[in-house]
Amino acid sequence: MSGKRQNNSGHLTCPRGFTLQDNYVYWDSTMEGLLIAGYYIGLGPASLPFGVISGKINVKSMMIGLTVIMVVTSALTPVLTFVSPYVVLVTRIIVGISAGGLEPGATQLLSDWAPLPERAQMMVLVETGLNRCSIFFLVTANSIGAIFNFLLSGLICSIPVLGGWPFIYYIFGGVNLLALVLFGLFVYNKPSKHPRITPMELDLIEKHRDKRSVDTVSHIPWLKMLTSSAFWGCVLGFITSGIIFMIMAICLPLYIEQVLKFDPTVNGAVSAIVFVGRVAGAVVFGYLADIVYSKTRLSIRHLRKLFQVAGLLGSVPIIIWIGFLDERDRVLAVVLMTLYWFIVSAMNSGFRANPADIAPRFAGLINGISIALTAILSAIAPLIVTAITPNGTAEEWQRVFYGVVGVSVLGSVVFVILASGEEQEWAKDPKIVTDMVIRVSDKEITISKSHQNGLDLESKPLLSNNNRLHA
């Protein structure tokens, strides 16, 4: 390759600001940080507009298009790596922009598919990528993806061709293509449009979801939404989860390396083991939340708050305990971190299911706003962690864990005060037909009343013979 010079250490130094040796590219720490941030630079600004349009367009087509862009961009990344780090930065931003539309799209799909008695488990199983239903083949799968990423990346890098690392992009890209094919074949925007859904299944879904006069949203009540306490309770629940995830998940390999002193070759395996707790917790608490709702008289409002607080405050003693451990307690630390993720995952049955509770028509929009705000803080969190842990000592990481405790407590208080479980007035379809109970003689009769047009045309006469309408 032209334009390279060899330095004293034997590396080939490229004039574009990176070094090359044995098919590996090395950037300075500033460029590495910028490349990591590139994903969030794209993710944050893109989430809001994608959230806005997710209720107005064909969500399935949007998600397919964004996934194709991600796969193609990722496939080109290994080649572009040898061109310029700034070109790679552009690819990272593009991937972030594409990812910014996937979760709002998935949330909007769920608001149309998930019946209330199964909403929590569907939401969290989509988040972990475990749901067996056809609609959920492609959506986020964050935890499962993280586990396989940690486990397989090191193994893939051992492939004795081009240093192995380019195959990470090609193998995971191939898996995404397979998921995309399944998604295209089996996923439909609405239950009513699925050709293989049974009448019983369709009836169950329709009975336990919001009713709409049209499938798409034409008007967004921005002022009422942004001044709603229920909206901010939901959004701040997302932000709390995002901060904790960034500190405890993204920065996890640093803690394992610096404090627990695990060999780098097993760091990925240890990180994957910890994420198993997150997957298991999401599944268990998702089913538990729906069972509690079905078997008790607990309202949706109190159900969401219960699981949000249980996850955040229930995990506090464990994270404090972890802060007092060092490399002599490495096995105990791994066990406790796994248990921590298991317990904290209970909050997925709180904030994550909440957009479909309070505003089913705008669930994708709320998700997009939440991701946009969370992405900003997610880009800042690693900088704060590295500033607090310049030497990587156990004492320094103890301060990080105390910060997580503070976020957990504050997030619990805010969610309890602001969150709701009922569909908000500003979120309701103004043209929808709703039920109104009136009293005729000594009997209660339910009639249909339109918010906009008065009595439904199919309503039966209220008075017959000598019956009188009592005030």
Q: 274-288, pLDDT tens digit by residue?
A: 778 888 888 888 888
Mean pLDDT of 401-428: 93
Least confident stretch, 126-135, 209-218, 387-396: 126-135
Q: Is the pLDDT of residue 314 over 90?
A: yes
CB 351 within 8 A of CB 241: yes
With a pLDDT cut of 70, the percent of the chain lying above it is 71
Within 8 A by CB and 6+ apart from 238, the residues are: 351, 352, 367, 370, 371, 373, 374
Residue spans of the domains in the chain: they are 5-427, 431-471
Q: 418-444, pLDDT tens digit by residue?
A: 999 888 999 887 766 444 444 444 444
> Would you state the structure tokens that stand for residue 338, as one six-digit string?
């796994």
Residue 147 banded pLDDT, cuts 50, 70, 90: low
The pLDDT of residue 452: 42
241: nearest Cα among 345, 102, 93: 345
pTM of the model: 0.69
CB 136 within 8 A of CB 361: no
The pLDDT of residue 215: 53
Residue ranges of alpha helices (H) inside 187-221 are 199-207
The pLDDT of residue 33: 65
Instruction: Give CATH for domain 5-427.
Output: 1.20.1250.20
- Measured CA to CA, the distance from residue 426 to residue 279 in angstroms comes to 35
**Roughly what angle, to the nearest 10 degrees, separates helices 166-186 and 142-156?**
150
- Measured CA to CA, the distance from residue 419 to residue 233 in angstroms comes to 4
The whole-chain average pLDDT of the chain stands at 76
